[in-house]
Amino acid sequence: MEILMAFVCGFLFMAAIYLILSRSLLRIIIGTGLLSHGAHLLILTMGSFKGSAPPVLSEGVTDYVDPVPQALILTAIVISFGVTAFFLVLAYRAYQELKTDDMTLMKGSEDHE
Amino acid sequence: MNNFLLLPIIIPFFFGMFLIFNQKRLAYQRIITMLGLILAIICALSLVYKVYLDGPQTVTFGSWPAPFGITMVSDMVSALLVTTTLVLAFFIVWYGFESIGKERERFFYYPGVMFIITGVNGAFTTGDIFNLFVFFEVLLMASYLLIVLGGEKAQLRESIKYILVNVLSSALFVITVAFLYSVVGTLSMADISLKIAEIKQPGIITVIAVMFLMVFGMKAAIFPLYFWLPSAYSAPPIPVLALFGALLTKVGVYAIMRTYTLFFTHDLAYTHELLLILSIITIIAGCIGALAHFDVKQIIIYNIVIAVGVILFGVAQMNQIGLEGAMFYLVHDMIIKAALFMLIGLVIYVTGTTNLRKMGGLMKTYPALGWFYLIAAFGLAGVPPLSGFVGKLLIVQGGFQAGNIWTSLLLLASSLVVLLSVMRIFIYAFWGEQGQVSNQVNKKVYNRMFFPTMLLVFISILYGVGTEWLTPLMEDAAKILIEPSIYTDAVMKGGN
């Protein structure tokens, strides 16, 4: 199971890097979304899939999954959600002001030598 | 009262929350900000005194035993950095009253500053690796706000790149923490240190060490990862630039310093050799950049890169003297970079340009500015009575002691390039024929901006002259870096 998940994470990272290296700003933001998905899935995988019951105390269950990675993922999800929301609004503003979403046209300052 | 060490984090946080209300009333915003910073500085100074007397202070939240809860650790390293952060923030905010502009002040500039300080102080104080990630995000979120606030075209363009780079390095941080958790099964930094010592650092831990170097190197701008810094830092206004230049990269440097002295100390021949090589190339790359530009902002920005290389060179030596020098140089560099950016801001204010070729002859009209700039420039290069001298002396001494003769000589040679790059600003802007002059200089505004700058230069002089008083503190800091057992004992036994 861990091997399969490692391949899935690797594929997500590959797709994310490919999208981040493209020219359009929206494709880059989609790439960051995939990157954070891959990272969160990797935390879950690295915590290993031992244990069968969800980490909620209940009678007669002794075999819980590791609760720490789930707490880490929950934290990382809201943080990346906040950053992505900010990034999307920034992209919108930049499109209004700069009239382009092509990263190759967003270079240098006007007084650059 | 063992929660005392949290005050330098909590006070800026609470004052930041109060500043969200009443955002259009400038007097309220300014007074509350200054009040909060003064209060936090007093707490930080007494924290330094307490740490000096009683050793490292620790508190684990919720009274959980040490590796299970989140621990905050205040040793001499973090206490000194927290104090420096707050003092610099105080002067930069004061300077910003006249230069940041009323429009920005009305739109959450001050809460942004307070939250960035919360994040920086938290990152310096935390004893938990995932909590470090969270505090990184706190300071990064606030820095996204400050870098784009104002919404000029250049700011929008550069902040997109800045955010993208930081999103990537944050994702890499999460991935690295996931790998580390799967190997050692704990998140508390003291416990990680003990677990790695138990398993004698197998190959996978060395891989994780290099990944941490990439993550923190992206924040700290070391050689192959500094590409984002010059353009991103050229966008925001001067007070924000001073805040970023003095604090943000130094958090990355501190994180490298902490992980490479606490966790990864069993395969020095690989990890610290890599750090040494990268720090030397960082210095060279920074020197090239600092000489290549005729833009005053860019020259000082590339000097940040050089200083990062110098500090990490001290860390890579892994001996008492080198680490003591790195601590001296880290605090010196935070102070002097803030002072230099503030001085450069004044030069830009009176000339109305950032291009060195258009400036000239300021010595006749602004002699005090010229002399203070000269003192700060000598301080940066490390001329003996001033602040940069002791740190670099100890770093080079550490380098000789560790047998890195040629690289230490190269470090000394880089001081000449630093001196040349900042003296070029002095020669072009202050000597020669009268150059361009801005037509909207208000003498009163200028004086109000000059006063905090002058005080900060005085502090940097005091830092250089008063080395004797600071040495015991720095020795304490270096001792805890070279001897991880002091740190782990303080945390695992609940401290005092």
The pLDDT, as a whole number, for residue A50 is: 82
The pLDDT, as a whole number, for residue B495 is: 47
The pLDDT, as a whole number, for residue B494 is: 62
Mutation target for B interface from A36, A50, A83: give the one with most B CBs within 10 A: A83
Residues in B touching A98 (Cβ below 8 Å): 153, 156-157
Min CA distance, A40 vs chain B (Å)? 8
Mean predicted confidence (pLDDT) in A17-27: 95
* DSSP helix/strand/coil, A64: strand
Establish if A28 touches chain B: CB-CB under 8 angstroms.
yes
The pLDDT, as a whole number, for residue B162 is: 95
Max Cα distance, chain A (Å) = 73
Query: What is the Cα–Cα distance from B42 to B36, expressed in whole angstroms?
Result: 10
The pLDDT, as a whole number, for residue A109 is: 55
- The answer to whether the CB atoms of B170 and A87 lie below 8 A apart is no
Q: Which residues pair with B71 in a beta bridge?
A: B60
DSSP string for residues in B222-275: -GGG-TTHHHHHHSS-HHHHHHIIIIIHHHHHHHHHHHHHHT--S-HHHHHHHH
Short-list B70, B59, B78, CA closest to B121: B78
Banded pLDDT at A113 (limits 50, 70, 90): very low
Give chain A's domains with CATH numbers. 2-49+67-99 (1.10.287)
The pLDDT, as a whole number, for residue B308 is: 96
Mean predicted confidence (pLDDT) in A68-79: 95
Residues in A touching B151 (Cβ below 8 Å): 93, 97
User: Residue B490, Cβ neighbours under 10 Å: how many?
Assistant: 23
The pLDDT, as a whole number, for residue B331 is: 95
Q: Which residues pair with B126 in a beta bridge?
A: B72
| φ/ψ of residue A64, rounded to 5 | -90, 155
Min CA distance, A42 vs chain B (Å)? 7
Dihedral angle at the C-alpha atoms of B95, B99, B104, B106, nearest 10 degrees?
Answer: 70
Spell out the domain ranges in chain B: 3-494
Establish if A34 touches chain B: CB-CB under 8 angstroms.
no
Mean pLDDT by 10 residues, chain B (496 residues): 87 95 91 96 95 92 87 94 96 93 91 96 95 96 94 91 95 96 94 92 93 95 92 93 94 95 92 95 95 93 95 94 95 95 94 90 92 95 90 95 93 94 93 84 90 95 92 93 92 68
Short-list B330, B342, B304, CA closest to B456: B342
* pLDDT tens readout for residues B247-302: 999 999 999 999 999 999 998 999 999 999 999 999 999 999 999 999 999 999 99
Banded pLDDT at A78 (limits 50, 70, 90): very high
The pLDDT, as a whole number, for residue B360 is: 87
Burial of B153 (0-12, 13-18, 19+ CB in 10 A): middle
Query: What is the Cα–Cα distance from B83 to B258, expressed in whole angstroms?
Result: 18
Half-sphere exposure of A40 (CA within 13 A, CB side): 18
Burial of B68 (0-12, 13-18, 19+ CB in 10 A): middle
Helix runs in B55-108, H state only:
76-99, 102-106
The pLDDT, as a whole number, for residue B1 is: 61
Residues in B touching A111 (Cβ below 8 Å): 295, 354-355
Dihedral angle at the C-alpha atoms of B357, B377, B257, B204, nearest 10 degrees?
Answer: 30
Complex ipTM value: 0.94
**For residue A62, pLDDT beyond 80:** yes
User: Residue B22, Cβ neighbours under 10 Å: how many?
Assistant: 12
Residue with tokens 């950049």: B289
Query: What is the Cα–Cα distance from A105 to B211, expressed in whole angstroms?
Result: 32
The pLDDT, as a whole number, for residue A108 is: 66
| φ/ψ of residue A102, rounded to 5 | -90, 115
Establish if A92 touches chain B: CB-CB under 8 angstroms.
no
Residues in B touching A113 (Cβ below 8 Å): 294
- Six token digits for residue B323: 């680490």
* DSSP helix/strand/coil, B128: strand
- Six token digits for residue B119: 């994040």
* DSSP helix/strand/coil, A24: strand
